Amino acid sequence: MMQETFQTISPEEAKKMMDEMSVTILDVREVMEFSSGHISGAQNLPVGSVRRLASSALPDLDATILVYCLSGMRSATACTILTELGYTKVYDFGGIASWPFEIEY
């Protein structure tokens, strides 16, 4: 069986998905970074704890999960881990540094 992989999408595509469907927005930066500004509705799960905490934080393996970090490096790592854990609809939209829409504090 081929390993599922995640898809990389643009911030604009992510925003459209957020507006049109039920998604889980996952911020994989550290807690201090998250509290300094994040996308509305995002759940904070630092990349270092994704493998350990994903099953309790994200119980639905078939949920649509949109992942971001600061620049796009940690989000790609987190997406790889999530797909290894069996999540089926994982999307990496890079870093909040290139997010052209509102953020909240």
- Phi/psi for 26 (5° steps) reads -115, 120
The secondary element (H helix, E strand) that includes residue 50 is: helix 50-57
Among 72, 30, 25, CA closest to 47: 30
Task: Provide the residue type at 63 as one letter.
Answer: A
Whether 69 is a known active-site residue: answer yes
Place of tokens 């999408």: 9
Give just the sign of the alpha carbon dihedral 62, 68, 27, 50: positive
| Catalytic, out of 69, 82, 90, 96 | 69
Active site residues: 69
